[in-house]
Amino acid sequence: MAWKKLAHKVHQSLAILIFIQMLGWLIGGAYFALVPFQSWVKSQDWLAPEPAITTPWPSAFAPGQVDALKLVQSAAGPLIEYRQSKQTHRVRLADATPVDSLSPEQISTYAQQRYAGEGELISVKFLDQVPSRWLGLVDELGQRGLVWQAQFDDHRSTRFYFDQQGVFITARNDYWVWFDALWRIHIMDYGQGEDFNNPLLRILSVLAVILAISGSALALSSLLRRVSRWKKKLAIAQKVT
């Protein structure tokens, strides 16, 4: 029958498509379960605490003169980050002066202070744009540019990122790249990797329902054929007896 051939073709085509995605889900799920997230993926076990800040507050930042302020550590030394008139600024804690452009040597020194891993620092460079990875699928800093990158030669290929004023942004490594790529495949969001209800996932859900319906139709058809053959055999046996 024509509908059986059509159902079989639809079922076979959808099965291949959905199997590929399900394979991605299974591989991703295994990776998420087996690879330690905080220690390996986020490099927390190889990230040393920030050096303690002991310099006293300058009198220019007495309470009430700014909307909000906090201390941050950087490659340029301790900084005051304050918010005033809806704008955020940073100045040196020691003398309240702005941070000048930093040198690779300053970033190198601070990066090694923050690194607690087993490798050695092999490069420090300023990037206008962080290169994407995994065929362009993974962006380590979400398209953020104008950052310092410190690269270490450990087996994870650990990378520390700092902003233009030398403040630590985040740590990345190859485990993180694989995690992010598999996560995007897992939720089928190949843009920002955050949309759990994206169109591709919706389409695959509909296709999975069609796969189930076509499979059920084929299974029912096969069952009916078997019942029909069984009835014919039973009828023949009754005639013989």
Every domain of the chain and the residues it spans: 44-172
The pLDDT score that the predictor gives to residue 192 is 75
CA 76 from centroid of its chain's CA atoms? 30
Does residue 183 register a pLDDT over 70? yes
pLDDT of 26-70, one tens digit each?
999 999 999 999 999 999 999 999 888 777 766 655 556 677 888
The pLDDT score that the predictor gives to residue 118 is 93
pLDDT of 119-131, one tens digit each?
999 999 999 999 9
The pLDDT score that the predictor gives to residue 16 is 87
Q: What percent of the chain has pLDDT over 90?
A: 48
- What is the rounded average pLDDT of the residues 92-98? 87
Q: Name the token pair of 184.
A: 């995007």
Contact 74, 113 (CB under 8 A): no
Which amino acid, 67?
D
The pLDDT score that the predictor gives to residue 233 is 76
Does residue 147 register a pLDDT over 60? yes
Please name which of 119, 144, 118 lies closest in space to residue 131, comparing C-alpha atoms: 144
Nearest-5° Cα angle at 165, 56 to 148: 140
- What is the rounded average pLDDT of the residues 87-91? 89
Q: Name the token pair of 47.
A: 């990230």
pLDDT of 211-222, one tens digit each?
888 788 778 888
